[in-house]
Amino acid sequence: MTLLVVQDLAVSRGGLRTVEGVGFSLDAGQALILRGPNGLGKTTLLRCIAGLQPPAAGRIVIEEDSLAYAAHADGLKSALTVAENMDFWARVFGGGDVAAALAAMDLQALAHRPAGALSAGQKRRLGLARLLVARRPIWVLDEPTVSLDAASVARFAGVIGDHLAQGGAALIATHIDLGLPQARVQDLTPFRARPGTRSARPSGFNEAFA
Ligand SMILES: Nc1ncnc2c1ncn2[C@@H]1O[C@H](COP(=O)(O)OP(=O)(O)OP(=O)(O)O)[C@@H](O)[C@H]1O
């Protein structure tokens, strides 16, 4: 079953096109890793697919409420504990298994610690654990392993593998080798927009959700 189709997509940031002509599809069970140099437009592309900004051109075909987006920022509520953060997200997204998610990301021992008192890697693990309660088939992940140690990277690769095995899909921008042998890799460098191509949209429009 195809979960996501991207056709001839162009995206803009700050009024300038970053990449254009991008196309791919993701079926259940598949992962696609996007690569490319700093500043190419990977984050911008993921934000667009996640619905945070409109495409400059092209089409994204996706079922409503089928995507969970883990951005650069963890977006945690620092005064709430780890468990409270997870309960909150489980309620917002319709109630996945919080205890199982905490165990999957090795967070049980930290369940009662305020999120604001976690280390950078622990915060990242908590941010990623939310994917497991979101019950959304498509995971869109922007540099998900930043701050993670090697053991946590391997653990998270296992979590993604389980998600794929259960019929999910993952679209991941990363500079490192995640250890997901089943993933396809697409280098976005050939899709860099021609220099100076301006967006047809009013200047600043695409920063509404920055
Ligand atoms: N708020 C902004 N206003 C204007 N331009 C921006 C803004 N944010 C990012 N850009 C520019 O948009 C371009 C694409 O940025 P983007 O974050 O999508 O790149 P990236 O491929 O994800 O890079 P990295 O690998 O460094 O994370 C860059 O040239 C960047 O400088």
ipTM for this model: 0.94
pLDDT for residue 24 is more than 60:
yes
Note the pLDDT of residue 40.
97
Q: Is the pLDDT of residue 73 over 90?
A: no
- pLDDT of residue 209 exceeding 60, the answer is no
**Could you tell me the distance, in angstroms and rounded to a whole number, from the CA of residue 24 to the centre of ligand 1?**
21
- 23-37, 67-81, 192-206: range with highest mean pLDDT: 23-37
Judged against a pLDDT cut of 60, whether residue 154 lies above it is answered with yes
Residues with CB under 6 A from ligand 1: 13-14, 18, 36, 38-44, 207, 210
Annotate the chain with three-state secondary structure. CEEEEEEEEEEEECCEEEEEEEEEEEECCCEEEEECCCCCCHHHHHHHHCCCCCCCEEEEEECCCCEEEECCCCCCCCCCEHHHHHHHHHHHCCCCCHHHHHHHCCCHHHCCCEHHHCCHHHHHHHHHHHHHHHCCCEEEEECCCCCCCHHHHHHHHHHHHHHHHCCCEEEEECCCCCCCCCCEEEECHHHECCCCCECCCCCCHHHCCC
Q: Assign 96 a pLDDT band (cuts: 50, 70, 90).
A: confident
Residue 95, pLDDT > 90, answer no
Quote the pLDDT of residue 201: 55
What pTM did the predictor assign? 0.92
Q: Whose CA is nearest to atom 24 of ligand 1?
A: 38
Give the fold, CATH level 3, of 2-66+137-207.
Rossmann fold (3.40.50)
CA–centroid distance, residue 18 to ligand 1 (Å) = 8
pLDDT at 207 > cutoff 90: no
Does the structure show a pLDDT above 90 at 137? yes
Q: How confident is the model at residue 199 (pLDDT cuts 50, 70, 90)?
A: low
Predicted local confidence at residue 200, as pLDDT: 60
Beta strand 57-62 with 2-13 is: antiparallel
